[in-house]
Amino acid sequence: MKTIKIEKESWVQGLEKLQDRYRLFGPMADKDSYEFKELNSGDTPVLEHGKQGNTRLSVKSVIYPQSQTMFTYTLDESKDDHHIMKEVELNGKPRAVFGVRPCDAASFRLVQRNFDTPEYKDPFWINPYEETTFVGIACDEPSKTCFCTSVGCGPYNEEGLDLLLVNESKDGNDFFARILTKKGDDLATAAGWLTNANADVDAAADVDFESRKRDAEKKITAKVSIDQLKEKKTTDLFSADFWDQVGFSCLNCGTCTYSCPTCWCFDIQDEVKGCQGKRMRNWDSCMYTLFTLEGSGHNPRSNKVQRVRQRFMHKLKYYVDKYDAGVQCVGCGRCIQLCPVNIDIREVCETMNTYTPAGEEA
């Protein structure tokens, strides 16, 4: 693992150089917040958002857009290939995403368990994921809503990243960068960040990394316990009496799902205009009525309390049991920040983790 220093000027020049080889993405201002966008030549991604902490929506859309055409077809019977689905060619150029927070980076590893399994391979997710280089930025100023350290992640976590940037100082323009993988090394080389002048900065930077990491972790005061979830009986949690109160205020608005880096559900739709059709997939949410509506008209999750329960049971129990790899949450806190009625996954998690069915108290 190499640590280098990237000076402001060389950062901007490097981004420009990368434009030829990569499609670049990074956080850009969008109205009163920041969102991941494709960068045009001349754009410099904004890596620090002050009191806003992370981008408003997660980075997932870079790999897994809200709406994506998978196939196209024609209904025009005079054409030889009518009614035949044609897979949409993905833009082959590799991507590089800048300013990925460690929680967001970890989220890709987590959703990979869904899109990339021994039995099923989803090319629309796997291909872009594999060709993307992830450039992270460590969090020196975590938000009040962050709880990554409780769910196996952390403000300096390197999982899922190819390169981790650390701001030299609070107001400084320069970065230290840890090169974590070959992809990261290739990108740094292509950007010209590995020239003699700034390569192999003293190990002092490394020491700094460790103490800064500890400082950052200390700033995360929100703690959530997840240790008992696995032991709980699924049926006990499912039929617990607290769901009525947890679900009462929920508007089933799906904001939590859409903003969450680890929510992966989608819905497939055909849209036809004239004779031209496309089959696309759109993000979906277990909070929506249509999510489980069956062709017969029957809906096994017909009320909102059942839908709220599904969201939390999936993230904090079914996923835990199925993969034995912790919870389906990286602690980014977006759902907490954006929920219009203040439903807080940390509180629900605590309730689930400490739940004992009535009559079983010691």
Partner 1 sequence: MLEYTDKIRALSSQLLKEEKVDMVIGFRKGRRPMSNEPYMAKHPDEVKNLVWDSNCGINLTTYLTDRKEKIAVVAKGCDSRNITTHIIENKIKRDQLVILGVPCTGMIDRRKINNIVDFEINDVVEQGDTIVVKGETTETSFVKERALQKNCLVCTHRNPVLYDELIAPKVPELTDVDRYEDVRRVETMSINDKWHHFEALLSNCIRCYACRNACPLCYCPTCFVDESRPQWVGKGDDPVDTKTFHFLRAYHCAGRCTDCGSCERACPMGINMREFTTKLEKDCQELFGWQAGLSLEERPPLDSFNSKDPDAFVK
Contact residues toward ligand SF4 (CB under 6 A) are 250-256, 259-262, 287, 315, 329-335, 339-341, 343, 345
Phi, psi of 254 (to 5 degrees): 75, 0
**Cα dist. 310→129, 237, 263, 279, 286 in Å?**
28, 11, 12, 28, 7
The amino acid that residue 132 corresponds to is T
Q: Residue 67 binds which one of ligand SF4, partner 1, none, with CB within 5 to 8 A depending on kind?
A: partner 1
> What character string, x for contact with partner 1 (CB under 8 A) and - otherwise, covers 266-295?
-x-x-x--------x-x--x--xxx-----
| DSSP per-residue codes, 70-127 | EEEEE--TTSTTTT--EEPPP--S-EEEEEE-HHHHHHHHHHHHHHB-SS-B-HHHHH
Q: Residue 331 binds which one of ligand SF4, partner 1, none, with CB within 5 to 8 A depending on kind?
A: ligand SF4
| DSSP per-residue codes, 269-284 | EEEEETTEEEEEEEE-
225 binds partner 1 (CB under 8 A): no
Label residues 79-108 b or e (16+ Cβ within 10 Å = b): eeeeeeeeeeeeeeebbbbbbbbbbbbbbb
Q: Which residues in 128-147 contact partner 1 (CB under 8 A)?
A: 143-145
101 binds partner 1 (CB under 8 A): no
30 binds partner 1 (CB under 8 A): yes
The H or E element containing residue 195 is none
Q: Is 136 in contact with 180 (CB distance < 8 Å)?
A: no
Kindly state the tokens that stand for 94.
Answer: 């590799």
Of 24 and 146, the one with the shorter C-beta distance to ligand SF4 is 146
Task: Name the segment binding partner 1 (CB under 8 A); options: 41-49, 309-317, 321-329, 341-349.
Answer: 341-349
Q: Residue 242 binds which one of ligand SF4, partner 1, none, with CB within 5 to 8 A depending on kind?
A: none
CB of 345 to ligand SF4, least distance (A): 5
Task: Name the segment binding partner 1 (CB under 8 A); options: 19-27, 106-114, 190-198, 338-346.
Answer: 338-346
Q: What is the separation of C-alpha 311 from the centre of its chain, rounded to a whole number of angstroms?
A: 16
Closest CA to 348 of 197, 251, 244, 265: 244
33 binds partner 1 (CB under 8 A): yes
Q: Residue 282 binds which one of partner 1, ligand SF4, none, with CB within 5 to 8 A depending on kind?
A: partner 1
CB of 203 to partner 1, least distance (A): 33
Instruction: Determine the Cα angle at 32 with ends 28 and 35, to 5°.
Output: 30
Q: Is 327 in contact with 319 (CB distance < 8 Å)?
A: yes
215 binds partner 1 (CB under 8 A): no
CB of 27 to partner 1, least distance (A): 14
Q: Residue 38 binds which one of ligand SF4, partner 1, none, with CB within 5 to 8 A depending on kind?
A: none
Of 10 and 150, the one with the shorter C-beta distance to partner 1 is 150
Of 234 and 249, the one with the shorter C-beta distance to partner 1 is 249
Phi, psi of 72 (to 5 degrees): -125, 160
Binding site for partner 1 (CB under 8 A): 30-33, 35, 50-51, 53, 56-57, 65-67, 143-145, 245, 248-249, 251-255, 258-259, 267, 269, 271, 280, 282, 285, 288-290, 336-338, 340-344, 346-347
